[in-house]
Structure 1
């Protein structure tokens, strides 16, 4: 006895239509709906379908005939995780594992980028190689990728698993085809590349599967086509003042692109600001839509929730924050401030309420905000050195963590942390909506308070101005009064002096007459003495 499975792809699409591409399927549907035979086919199928539905209602094919057995009790296991494998950097001079990427088909391989991010402190003789590891063989890497400069980021092409895109420390973009070996297949020219290390690279959803874009701390986001990597197809400067000044640009350190929102992308910067951009904007100024600021340091991780793309996770400084596009002024949820610096974060692809964060003290935190909001549901000490990066496998079971000394640890989380819980989507949605609503109310309240304070400040200014004008008027009045009284007093003094002069004149005449009389009397006495005989 053997069990076989058949992978059923939705619909009977023609070979030239990719069912995963939304635009192609919509175009094909519109084309089919315009066809005359379409209505006839639908009416014919309608009667057959109706017969099948009636038959299905008459006979319950899911009827349980042996339901007498006691139901198995489902025990809620505590969150846990175990280490499956450890992949160590084979080089003697150790480098940090800076980026991880899972193989898109089967997830049996893991690409790891190695480089030293300490500014101008790369050890002498350090290897530039990065590796692709097989999950079953931790002793030796499957393929070595040999760039011209150490790789900061490395990403598998989701459409072609043989092709990998790398961002180099010197700012160049490199491309590999594993069928052709370890050497670089395509490399951007250094004069048209970034001026700083390339911290983010993402493949775009395109018909060719060759388009991608990159971000660097030089403040630029560049779009590329790997068929012609000599120069970028487009460049956007991260100047939030919208003046396209490179000296004012914010250094980009993380990127986010959701394929369901093909025109939107987000950039996390060194300055703790998330810039939301729209690629459909005609001018670079129109492409920068809005900003979200809330971190004190670089934003090392930025990712939209896979179930609710309006909500996104950022990791920077000592916290992880969850944001809503509807609330721009502040985050709607956040973790407490940790003692150790946070280095990376990611949502679980299978559970909307679960996310993971790594810290500088070598611990991995698994958060489940449906279960617990203040503390992580599970904290694991992965290694003694700092963890630099993490990547979750598509099924949500396996997590790879890269450390400062180039050790990549593979962990498997318990079934409960990887499996969608009953009613979890509705709970997560209601939590996001409730927190967004709460934040909007608080924002409105803060705005109101600011306006009141502004009004008070303006009122105080007016009062001061009035007081100043009043004091000015009082001063002018007192000055006028003083001047008026000065004139009066001076006039009075002058009149008094005149009166005094008039009074002094007759006194002088009397005195003169008395003096004259005295002189005459003295003369007569002298003459009388001369006349008397001796």
Structure 2
């Protein structure tokens, strides 16, 4: 449908068209009467048949067509071709080598590296790359991996703290850092630690137990940890009572003595398994829990001391644990009576020194 046909069907346009058609018909009729009355004259130029509908030319004479709402008409229509898109990846196995160098041949790469080292300007190029690399590293501001946590603190320092000279005040610039974290799966508090240094590896024993006597505990076992592996313990020692004190033998690397909460003392041989090889009887042991068990230097390498809450220090030989070799009470009156004994909280076997609360 053309725009003229569309406008011709509107009411206001139709009224104008009908009015114009009637005026045109009247003019034609008057002309026709004048021809008949005059008996001749000029021929009727409008010999066309008058119809009730307006033609396109007539509508165009009386209608003002707006062009604001007309549809756009394309003179030329074309479809451009889409560019092909491909997704590709690249495996950077080893780069920086010339094309003639086979990266899978180590000998060929070594020869090429030696050839480069002999060229002039090699040293200056390496020094220039070091400056560039240092600048790039310092630009990493996301995580400050070079942060000095104890900057400005006295007593922390770098070389020899015992000399008291390095690092100025406090004996040097030594830094304290956590190397590894050894965590018990039962979250028990550690009561005592004994470190053993060997030629090939370092390990330590930990006694776990409750702080208070009636506090419940999930496990009585003590653990042997290797310093090179913090994920799991190297060995688990089966303890019939929570261990309060542990001590590695200074010469026999496989021997370990323990003081237990029930007052007994036991000895473990790590080569023979996780169970005690010998233990004291409850009747001859401490009347309260053991505070310290420690080996002493002897010719037989089988003697140890133990101290307890009952105020008694006992001398044991693991070759015969039925009875203590000797014992003494921490009695300030020097009467060696248990009712006057003070609690022995610490023990040093080098000079047989006992401390009390």
Q: Give the TM-score normalised by the residue count of structure 1.
A: 0.34
Q: Please tell me whether the aligned partners of residues 147 and 174 of structure 1 are also in contact (alpha carbons under 8 angstroms).
A: no
Q: What's 1:108 paired with? A: 202
Alignment equivalent of 1:95, drawn from 182, 188, 193? 188
Which residues in structure 2 correspond to 1:307-456 (within 5 Å)? none
1:91-141 deviation digits (Å, cap 9, x = unpaired): 2xx321011111142461011111113121224xx2000000011110100
1:358-399 deviation digits (Å, cap 9, x = unpaired): xxxxxxxxxxxxxxxxxxxxxxxxxxxxxxxxxxxxxxxxxx
Q: Does 2:249 match 1:168?
A: no
Hey, what's the Cα distance between the residues in 2 that align with 1:97 and 1:75?
34
Q: Please tell me whether the aligned partners of residues 104 and 158 of structure 1 are also in contact (alpha carbons under 8 angstroms).
A: no
* Bigger-Rg structure (1/2): 2
How far 1:80 moved relative to its partner? 2.1
Q: Please tell me whether the aligned partners of residues 194 and 220 of structure 1 are also in contact (alpha carbons under 8 angstroms).
A: yes
Hey, what's the Cα distance between the residues in 2 that align with 1:103 and 1:141?
15
The RMSD of aligned alpha carbons is 1.5
Q: Please tell me whether the aligned partners of residues 305 and 349 of structure 2 are also in contact (alpha carbons under 8 angstroms).
A: no
Which residues in structure 2 correspond to 1:194-273 (within 5 Å)? 194-258=286-350, 264-270=351-357
Instruction: For residue 179 of structure 2, give the secondary structure of its aligned residue in structure 1.
Output: strand
Alignment equivalent of 1:80, drawn from 175, 182, 187? 175
Q: Please tell me whether the aligned partners of residues 239 and 248 of structure 1 are also in contact (alpha carbons under 8 angstroms).
A: yes
Q: Give the TM-score normalised by the residue count of structure 2.
A: 0.51
Q: Does 2:222 match 1:121?
A: no
How far 1:247 moved relative to its partner? 1.2
Q: Where in structure 2 are there 5+ consecutive unaligned residues? A: 1-165
Hey, what's the Cα distance between the residues in 2 that align with 1:222 and 1:122?
28
**Richer in strand (by share):** 1
Q: What's 1:59 paired with? A: none
How far 1:75 moved relative to its partner? 6.4
Q: Does 2:241 match 1:154?
A: no
1:433-474 deviation digits (Å, cap 9, x = unpaired): xxxxxxxxxxxxxxxxxxxxxxxxxxxxxxxxxxxxxxxxxx
**Richer in helix (by share):** 1
Hey, what's the Cα distance between the residues in 2 that align with 1:170 and 1:75?
49
Q: Where in structure 1 are there 5+ consecutive unaligned residues? A: 1-73, 259-263, 271-534
Instruction: For residue 247 of structure 1, give the secondary structure of its aligned residue in structure 2.
Output: helix
Q: What's 2:234 paired with? A: 142
How far 1:170 moved relative to its partner? 0.5
Aligned residues: 188
Superposed structure 1 runs of 4+ greater than 3 Å apart: 74-77
